[in-house]
Amino acid sequence: MRIEMVEELRARVRRATKVVAFTGAGVSRESGLATFREGKDALWQRYRPEDLASPQAFLRHPETVWRWYGERFRGAASAQPNAAHLALARLAAVFPSYLLVTQNVDGLHQRAGSRGVVELHGTLHDARCHACARRMEMQRALDRSPDTPPRCECGGLYRPAVVWFGEMLPQDAMERAMREAAACDLLLAVGTSATVFPAAGLIELAHRGGAAVIEVNPEATAFSSLADLRLRAAAAAALPALEAEIRGCREGSA
């Protein structure tokens, strides 16, 4: 795949000093992990979210929820970062300031080499006590108790350290993401339907703040109209090509 930007966008990419990459489930699609809502194998078309991913579900059926997240953790841990994760990690070296914000909980950005990733929806790789928030590695928690959530010293149950339906996003992560999005000059929105608020607001914040927006998604989204460039392709195909085009723009900037 080859990507060519129009000169106006090239100029904006050439001048960009603050960049935010914002990713969703689509970026991990080519690593074999299902996306959330869309696609044939979307997770919630097979399970009702309220049955598995809410505090109520956990309190009612802790074993079922624990085992399901155990499976998701093993799936994520055995998946490999794809060409999109790797290109997004390499882009950090191209700009003076670069922040990767993800809604994913699979840890693949970190395994691809991205540092300082802001995880808006937490991570599958940790468990935390539902009562006192003490944390433990998910692998350890599952080794200790594969079929039922282990009990914390405080008497509470360990749960996956992800954000469930009806729960608040971690405030520090959300504030950081909003601040950087509002101040950036280029935002890459990759593999996200951007329907989940307030995360969806990041694209709008960046656009209103004057940033160029590049969207990578095989399908149109509610935010496609804001994008200065829409790449209707799978992330693993588009990102290496986008990286090459961005590097080309930057070489002209010295």
Q: What is the binding site for ligand NAD (CB under 6 A)?
A: 24-26, 28-30, 33-39, 43, 103-106, 121, 191-196, 216-219, 221, 234-235
Residue 81 contact partner, candidates ligand NAD, Zn ion, none, CB within 5 to 8 A by sort of partner:
none
Residue 185 contact partner, candidates Zn ion, ligand NAD, none, CB within 5 to 8 A by sort of partner:
none
Question: Would you count residue 154 as binding Zn ion (CB under 5 A)?
Answer: yes
Residue 132 contact partner, candidates Zn ion, ligand NAD, none, CB within 5 to 8 A by sort of partner:
Zn ion
* Residue (158 or 164) nearer to ligand NAD, CB: 164
Could you give the 3-state DSSP secondary structure of residue 230?
A: strand
Residue 4 CB coordination number (10 Å) = 10
Tell me the C-alpha distance between 66 and 56, whole Å.
13
- Answer whether 44's CB lies under 8 Å from 105's CB: no
Preceding amide of 170 cis, omega within 30: no
CB of 149 to Zn ion, least distance (A): 11
* Residue (16 or 242) nearer to ligand NAD, CB: 242
Helices (H), 18-80: 43-46, 49-52, 55-60, 62-78
Site for Zn ion in 156-215 (CB under 5 A): 156
* Residue (134 or 208) nearer to Zn ion, CB: 134
- Answer whether 164's CB lies under 8 Å from 53's CB: yes
Residue 154 contact partner, candidates ligand NAD, Zn ion, none, CB within 5 to 8 A by sort of partner:
Zn ion
Residue 105 contact partner, candidates Zn ion, ligand NAD, none, CB within 5 to 8 A by sort of partner:
ligand NAD
Q: Which residues fall within 8 angstroms of residue 4, CB to CB, at 6 or more apart?
A: 245
CB of 10 to ligand NAD, least distance (A): 23
Site for Zn ion in 90-129 (CB under 5 A): 129
Token pair 């001048």 in the structure block, residue? 15
Question: Would you count residue 131 as binding Zn ion (CB under 5 A)?
Answer: yes
Side chain identity, residue 62: P
* Residue (36 or 98) nearer to ligand NAD, CB: 36
Tell me the C-alpha distance between 159 and 57, whole Å.
12
Catalytic residues: 121
Token pair 């996306």 in the structure block, residue? 35
Q: Which helix (H) or strand (E) holds 126?
A: strand 122-129
- Answer whether 31's CB lies under 8 Å from 107's CB: no
* Residue (81 or 149) nearer to ligand NAD, CB: 81
Q: Which residues in this chain contact Zn ion in the complex, by CB under 5 A?
A: 129, 131-132, 134, 152, 154, 156
